[in-house]
Amino acid sequence: MLRALLPEHLPRLAGQRVLVVGDAMLDRYWFGAVERISPEAPVPVVAVGGSEERLGGAANVARNVVALGGQARLLAVTGVDEAAARIDALLAETHIDAQLLRDPALPTTLKLRVLSRSQQLIRLDFEARPAAAALAQIEAAFADALDWAQVVVLSDYGKGTLGAASTLIERARAAARPVIVDPKGHDYERYRGATLLTPNRGEFATVAGPWAREDELHAKAADWLARLRVERLLVTRSEQGMTLFRAGAPALHDPARAREVFDVSGAGDTVVAALALAFAAELDDAAAVHLANLAAGIVVGKLGTATASVQEVAAELAKEDSACM
Q: What distance in Å separates the CA atoms of residue 82 and residue 108, rounded to the nearest whole number?
A: 8
Q: What distance in Å separates the CA atoms of residue 72 and residue 78, rounded to the nearest whole number?
A: 18
Which of these is catalytic: 23, 182, 263, 269?
269
Q: What distance in Å separates the CA atoms of residue 221 and residue 204, rounded to the nearest whole number?
A: 9
Given the DSSP bridges, would you call strands 179-182 and 196-197 parallel, antiparallel or unpaired? parallel
Q: What distance in Å separates the CA atoms of residue 220 and residue 306, rounded to the nearest whole number?
A: 32
Closest Cα to residue 172, out of 198, 197, 195?
195
Identify whether 269 is a catalytic site residue: yes
Q: What distance in Å separates the CA atoms of residue 142 and residue 153, rounded to the nearest whole number?
A: 12
| Residue 194 CB partners (closer than 8 Å, separation 6+) | 154, 169, 179, 180, 181, 228, 230
Q: How many C-beta neighbours within 10 Å does residue 69 have?
A: 19
User: Would you please indicate which residues are annotated as catalytic (active-site) residues?
Assistant: 269
